[in-house]
Amino acid sequence: MPSPTPSLYGFSVQTLEGRAQSLRRYRGKTLLIVNVASKCGFTPQYSGLEDLYRRHKAHGLLVLGFPCDQFGHQEPGEAAEIRRFCSLTYDVTFPLFAKVDVNGPNAHPLFEFLKARQPGVLGSRAIKWNFTKFLVGPDGEVIRRYAPAETPEQIEKGLLPLLT
């Protein structure tokens, strides 16, 4: 008997503080999953992501940030440094998770799942840079992949129909 298609809710991730957390706790929420970095040209998007989160969290939106150091060593910090930078510089309150690889042999299984469900340009599965965003509906379906240059303000219209 073939194994069932994996579900987003079957994955476990580590919080920035190192605690294991199942994505099941986010069932029924609209998710914007983003690989983030503190020393990237797109880092100012933290402000827009936080704004989206604050304005729409009561309607079911969660932004989930996954620091990544695979692109030009743009996230060199340890967990405490990442938390401090995000809090002090951008007043980030949305959930942040442990640093992950999004490409290559050590890519986190969550990102392998996201890339398989929403490939990039010309079917490429590789994530090209930090601040690639994946929009996930309340049912766990990966709806859309957004390029790093697409700002939170530009993608807001696409997520509004998914909110309660």
* 97 contacts: CB under 8 Å, gap ≥ 6: 13, 14, 15, 16, 21, 64, 65, 66, 67
Amino acid in position 60? G
Helix 45-56 × helix 152-159 angle, to 10°: 30
Active-site entry in 13, 40, 98, 100? 40
Question: How far apart are alpha carbons 74 and 91 in whole angstroms?
Answer: 19
Which of these, 35, 54, 44, lies nearest to 115 by C-alpha position?
35
40 catalytically annotated: yes
Place of tokens 């199942």: 22
Give the tokens for residue 137: 């509906």
DSSP label of 97: B
Active centre residues (catalytic): 40
